Structure 1
Amino acid sequence: MNQENYVIFKGTKDGVTVLFQPDVPFEELCTQLEQKVEEAGKFFDNVKTSLAFKGRSFTEEEEEKLLQIIAERTTMRITFVKTENNELKQISELLEKDIRAFNLTKFHRGSLRNGQKIEFDGSVVVVGDVNPGAEIKATGNIIVLGQLKGMAHAGCKGMTDAFVTAVYMAPVQLRIADIITRFPEENKHGPKPPEYAFVKDGQIFVMALS
């Protein structure tokens, strides 16, 4: 990466990463980002993807400025933003948006053991683990601030834009509205980043949050 090319877009299996040179003034980064986005033309239009900022840390105000530049020049639909500042920032943002979107949100503090079940007309936030044999069923979204290894059914009354997210996602069964998916056995072991499950084109997609 040289001085004339200090903002680089890179496509990855998880989305789009923007690499920033760390020792360049922020205003210069903004200027080149504007140029890069405009040069890309229609490439980003109507694309639904995650967006990662890498190479340096930004303040919240700076992040908002960068996102504004992209939003004003494309119709890209960003599912979440990953920055260098906080690995779990996206889960916190999803939680905040969920609380604003739904008047009814149930918080459960502590882990759910085998045989325990939560059913709620609204969204459910579990501050703990959902162990094998436990189940969550919600008409809204499901957020697990821990390990999800039991069963999760979000949007159980047909809400297809509901989502499920967890710090560690390895459910026995995951369901959104009437769409069901199972996680492969090999994905249930070893470290991995927080993940986000959502429906697109009639299928459940699972995307890493880092």
Structure 2
Amino acid sequence: MHDAAVLKGTNDGYEIILDDQSDLGEALAGLRRLLENLRDQAASGVSQAISFDIQTGRRLLAAEDRSKIETIFSDFSSFSVHKVTSDVITKEESNRILEQESVHVIDQIIRNGQEIHIQGDVLFLGKIHEGGKLFVGGNIYVLGDVHGIIQAGYPDLEDKMIIGDVHNAQQVRIGEQYEILDDTNTKISENTVVYVNDLHVLDYGKVESLKQINPKFFNRIGGVING
């Protein structure tokens, strides 16, 4: 008899694979049989709580189907679900990833009190007034005029950068790290790279040092910097 639910050991614990070629009802029945067998095998030993990852392959479960899995596990006090994963994603998630990977060209004025949120990398050609805020999920390339608050890696990605002249900015942020700027900051020029260093502190470098600052990003853009 074909097993629609198979137990697999991983480096992180235990994973139960639900056969995506089987009918969902058959897969859930197989899950229950598997848990019953595991419970019976553990009956003669020391009872230990175990949390399982559930892998559904190329089958994307709806919330109702996930609830059915939770209901099955509720009958086994020593077992629980850690997470449910699959090899496919929703259309909404796919669109979000595509947006995150794209470069947006922004040429607009962000006025005092305005907040602009953008996923992906941004080439900024506009102007941010004092009190205006630009929050970007990726990197920011500044060719415009920034007098407000600018953040790359929003909300908490510290591997992103701000590249360009932000010496007039009120505040620069990378992920959760930030610094309030003033006239005494002499590290910023039109070729500045703002980044988070290995000590998780906001730091400043030059574009020509990008290979040392972020080798992965340097290679992604082809390993060439035109100064």
Of structures 1 and 2, the larger Rg is shown by 2
More strand by share: 1
TM-score, normalised relative to structure 2 = 0.42
Q: TM-score, normalization: structure 1?
A: 0.45
Which structure's relative contact order is higher, taking Cα pairs within 8 Å and 6+ residues apart?
Answer: 1
